[in-house]
Structure 1
């Protein structure tokens, strides 16, 4: 029986017992051997160096941009409530940054250039210093340009200061990611030129014949014509696919056979982090149930499932208890089924599980268009033999969608090709491609927080945000306005309870993340709503979250698909200090009210109001020297 603090050491000893380090599983090799798996940093002071360095992925060599020479970056491990110091040195010839994803830190420590600080210039060392009131599984990544795609991401484990409600004998941290040998800016340029560059799964004549056999020729032809009229493909599921991506676990491809060892009967905790740039995964271990015990770092009531969908930036902790002495295939399959990564869980080092075959490519339906649900069956068949679009303008060329929605807050224009006519809740759906699998799948509607919610007030007001796009031109935005054109932030007031309702007017899944606060997912959980820092909003979905505005400051709010954010699907939420209307809360950090950044080739001035750094010693960083970044206070 191996404790979670001993597993790396014990695994190494087990490998040595075999008589040669060449027999070690790839993840346990020391960094000096060129391993790109996890190295571990513990304590309360961490020195991190951002640099470029060579890596080998799937037997091919390339250059990464990351932290301390490994992809993923080192595992950072510390204890809840402890003040930690992280010195980040930038050795690049460009700016960099680190955002501590899901951690409740003062906004000046949040690490978003142009919103919370100017970024870290070449040759500089920036000191992050904070203590957090939480424990669990989290991660960190660059918020500068497209560096995250190049390897700038790593895991964080925060040990609880008290007893852990999850009992387990050993653990493994499993960082899922996507890697391309193409330059990320080249990928983005291709997407802007032709959004379906990497999609090789378009429907064919045999697919049409199959549809006609199932639905009738007329219905199949009408649906095909409707997709064509909207200039969309029902296979437009992922922008960047296995055509360029290598899918990885802890920096290793399936061929590397990342290997985790267990003793039969043990409770093994898998801390699963989706650190991808663009890939949503469906995770399963055929023949081995998983009990979900934590979502986005926070404990949930144990829920046994056989598969779950994990969006970019989400984390799930699961317990598995393999009783048989055999190898199991941990499988993370991309949502569009263009590829997967498989690791082995086995009783002995070096075992290799059989890789499952990729499953059939899923297909979007009329439901993903948010059509008039009263006029058709959600499986795609019509109730009357015809398709009705409930006011949707069939001619998409003019982008005149006024008849589709009475929302005056959505800016019409070339960046908005449609609005959802009949958005609906999809919380009780497992996610695209998992609707008909013959086993148990996780649904957001099933999640319940383990502890009762601390704030059970009813929301004082509701804010509706539309997720908008012109997919053909690769334009992504909130409310029809991309980030480079935003003039005012979304305003919260300190202490208030706000309901945010997100309407997905696009036909793609979007993992939406709000910095500095957690979403209380409105899923029927009463006083046990699950709290998440990232939620997948499905196509045509209307999803609500309740938010307690506890932390004064400016916070990024964005889609966590990297190229969507880069194209403009981002905003700023400003939590303004208490004005006497709400219950006072203690905060030392006043907000800035104006912030912008360089996105999608749009140069904008970084204009930030004076920040009182207070006790957060920035150790000599002259932030006033960074162009138009203006930050007062103690540096």
Structure 2
């Protein structure tokens, strides 16, 4: 309800914002302030991008954003495959900034990660990015400096193919998902550091306990609470920051602003969906309108029809919809914990609105999410009585009795920094994660203050749709359904395997790989130019993590597949959600020499330390001086480029 006080408050905020915007050129006004949600678009090969602060509002509430050319999202950059682009980025902030070109294949010096590929862009300085375009598809760009991505510093990219597009459509819309906080992001992070549960208002209550006891029995309810207490987690720990703190955006507009895309009934509409949120994994659906997925992370896939899919932070999906009826449809992007949603409208005429569905009941974590059952999404694979609390605590020491624990679990110098092919390898993962044919070694589970829990029975979960979607009554997309449209160019068996654990201590809000934060890491993970490597990730935490590798794509090793012909159409991605308790393998062809960031794309997890550097070392016979990593040898400056 909008009462008189709220109306006057909103009117005052809007009038103040309008007065400010009136002094700003049209190109520099935020999409939300303009009230249209239309993304400004820049095309060609030569660009000037200015990073600065701009007034911004969400659902009528005034705020301030860090913007590129004054808009949230930043302008849509439209490029063409085969061109070379030059982008001059001017920093008008009072702090350093940067732009990372997410998913773009380019020289590592142009990747835009301060401290890894370049020093960043100082206040008042200009940095010129220049690189050829070797791909097509839907991508995006964002700051890799501090927490700027949280407050608006992100935008979409479309690279049109040099030849014909295999996707046929009549019109397209770019839909950039975001999460907005009116709290200063550094204060938000400080709150999480004090208490990692402090911004999760979706916890279970005493009333929930009594309801569970009535439904499942008192013993089962008590056993369930004891288990979660031993893990220092709760079954509702699905998102660190919820809809109580966030407003969820589409193209810079909140749910009340209602972004609208028009269509004529019968048209094929391509929706390019980008999750540019800082911390929010979304579940996307359009009630009454099936979606055909045609692209994932910028690469074409064999078309597959679905009704809902989960999109991790930094992932992109292109879908085609064909609304046949002369009515409005609601596009719903519901947060994974179902505490809020972004919504938009597809309609034949302006002003129309479809029915907005209510938020669904919150999901709860399960035994599979604790890494203690092989149930593949079965919520009832073990009862609380069968899983005693002391067995939960024993998981802290690890349980791989059949493993050879002769080597230590850390020390990236042992991860081939001197040319050894040992590394963090693990044998006997089963068909879903078949080990390479060459000899491998194993390592202990990571331990230390940054490792509160370990998954004792991690399994492949690629054939599951994601937390909260296991029992919905309609079709849901699973990674195992994706197939690359083009065959994989490199279908060699990997020469070695590296295992990496995703680790955390939620009580202290510590996030890491193998229990070691990025600030503590000295040696990078080393790949050798041209080799085929299997990277196996084990999620020892009870939260999903969208993991992103810069500079290269990887092939998802699908369940039940051992390579050969099947592997030729494994889906290729740059970001993948690793579910709780999951063991997930990807194969990487190390064909991009340089230092590349590798991290969880949940912004505050990365900021807290869940990041590493992958260093692709050049072939010793390569005399090209540009093929040398900066790590430990040389720190790039603007003059070097």
SS at match of 1:210: helix
Give the superposition deviation at 1:257: 1.3
Is 1:591 equivalent to 2:629 in the alignment? yes
Assess if the C-alpha contact under 8 Å between 1:313 and 1:560 holds in 2.
yes
* Pick aligned residue for 2:520 from 485, 498, 502: 485
Give distance in 2, aligned partners of 1:132 and 1:102: 11
* Pick aligned residue for 2:609 from 539, 544, 568: 568
Give distance in 2, aligned partners of 1:429 and 1:59: 39
* Pick aligned residue for 2:587 from 546, 560, 568: 546
Give the superposition deviation at 1:244: 1.0
Give distance in 2, aligned partners of 1:423 and 1:565: 23
Give distance in 2, aligned partners of 1:196 and 1:585: 52
Q: How does 1:140-155 map to 2 (within 5 A)?
A: 140-155=141-156
Give distance in 1, aligned partners of 2:511 and 2:342: 29
CA deviations over 1:192-236 (Å, ceiling 9, x no partner): 001111111211233223333443332222111111122211001
Q: Give the structure 2 partner of residue 531 of structure 1.
A: 572
Residues 30 and 49 of structure 1: is their aligned pair in 2 closer, same or farther, counting only changes over 3 Å? closer
Give distance in 1, aligned partners of 2:325 and 2:531: 52
Q: Give the structure 2 partner of residue 393 of structure 1.
A: 393
SS at match of 1:500: strand
Q: Give the structure 1 partner of residue 534 of structure 2.
A: 499
Give distance in 2, aligned partners of 1:366 and 1:377: 9
Assess if the C-alpha contact under 8 Å between 2:226 and 2:389 holds in 1.
no
Give the superposition deviation at 1:380: 3.8
SS at match of 2:463: coil
CA deviations over 1:218-264 (Å, ceiling 9, x no partner): 22221111111222110011001111101000000111110100000
Q: Give the structure 2 partner of residue 208 of structure 1.
A: 209
Residues 372 and 280 of structure 1: is their aligned pair in 2 closer, same or farther, counting only changes over 3 Å? closer
Residues 33 and 113 of structure 1: is their aligned pair in 2 closer, same or farther, counting only changes over 3 Å? closer
Give the superposition deviation at 1:490: 0.0
Give distance in 1, aligned partners of 2:371 and 2:232: 16
SS at match of 1:511: strand
Assess if the C-alpha contact under 8 Å between 1:264 and 1:321 holds in 2.
yes
Is 1:609 equivalent to 2:610 in the alignment? no
SS at match of 1:393: helix
Q: How does 1:44-63 map to 2 (within 5 A)?
A: 44-63=45-64
Assess if the C-alpha contact under 8 Å between 1:392 and 1:401 holds in 2.
no
Residues 86 and 377 of structure 1: is their aligned pair in 2 closer, same or farther, counting only changes over 3 Å? closer
Residues 55 and 529 of structure 1: is their aligned pair in 2 closer, same or farther, counting only changes over 3 Å? same
Q: In structure 2, list runs of 5 or more residues that go unmatched.
A: 1-24, 410-444
SS at match of 2:227: helix
CA deviations over 1:430-455 (Å, ceiling 9, x no partner): 00110000000000000000011010
Q: Give the structure 2 partner of residue 113 of structure 1.
A: 114
Give the superposition deviation at 1:586: 8.2
> Does 53-62 or 548-557 show the bigger shift?
53-62
Give distance in 1, aligned partners of 2:30 and 2:191: 32
Give distance in 1, aligned partners of 2:599 and 2:215: 40
Give distance in 1, aligned partners of 2:612 and 2:377: 36
Assess if the C-alpha contact under 8 Å between 2:297 and 2:575 holds in 1.
yes
Give the superposition deviation at 1:386: 2.3
Q: Give the structure 1 partner of residue 599 of structure 2.
A: 558
Assess if the C-alpha contact under 8 Å between 2:29 and 2:70 holds in 1.
no
Is 1:462 equivalent to 2:463 in the alignment? no
CA deviations over 1:302-342 (Å, ceiling 9, x no partner): 00000000000000000000000000000000001110011
**TM-score, with structure 1 as normaliser:** 0.86
Q: Give the structure 1 partner of residue 557 of structure 2.
A: 522
Give the superposition deviation at 1:423: 0.3
Give the superposition deviation at 1:414: 1.1
Assess if the C-alpha contact under 8 Å between 1:274 and 1:313 holds in 2.
yes
Give the superposition deviation at 1:413: 1.3
SS at match of 1:185: helix
Give the superposition deviation at 1:273: 0.1
Residues 124 and 30 of structure 1: is their aligned pair in 2 closer, same or farther, counting only changes over 3 Å? closer
RMSD: 2.2
Assess if the C-alpha contact under 8 Å between 2:28 and 2:69 holds in 1.
no
Q: Give the structure 2 partner of residue 242 of structure 1.
A: 243
Is 1:35 equivalent to 2:31 in the alignment? yes
Give the superposition deviation at 1:492: 0.1
SS at match of 2:238: coil
Q: Give the structure 2 partner of residue 233 of structure 1.
A: 234
Q: Give the structure 2 partner of residue 5 of structure 1.
A: none
Assess if the C-alpha contact under 8 Å between 1:515 and 1:556 holds in 2.
yes
Assess if the C-alpha contact under 8 Å between 1:50 and 1:88 holds in 2.
yes
Assess if the C-alpha contact under 8 Å between 1:377 and 1:383 holds in 2.
no
SS at match of 1:472: helix
Q: Give the structure 2 partner of residue 224 of structure 1.
A: 225
SS at match of 1:254: coil
Q: Give the structure 1 partner of residue 358 of structure 2.
A: 357
Q: Give the structure 2 partner of residue 13 of structure 1.
A: none
Q: Give the structure 1 partner of residue 448 of structure 2.
A: 413
Aligned residues: 568
SS at match of 1:572: strand
Give the superposition deviation at 1:469: 0.3
Assess if the C-alpha contact under 8 Å between 1:168 and 1:269 holds in 2.
yes
Residues 520 and 471 of structure 1: is their aligned pair in 2 closer, same or farther, counting only changes over 3 Å? same
Assess if the C-alpha contact under 8 Å between 1:553 and 1:589 holds in 2.
yes
Is 1:513 equivalent to 2:551 in the alignment? no
Give distance in 2, aligned partners of 1:486 and 1:108: 21
SS at match of 2:55: strand
Residues 377 and 160 of structure 1: is their aligned pair in 2 closer, same or farther, counting only changes over 3 Å? closer
SS at match of 1:140: strand
Assess if the C-alpha contact under 8 Å between 2:331 and 2:346 holds in 1.
yes
**TM-score, with structure 2 as normaliser:** 0.85
Give distance in 2, aligned partners of 1:572 and 1:323: 48
SS at match of 2:31: coil
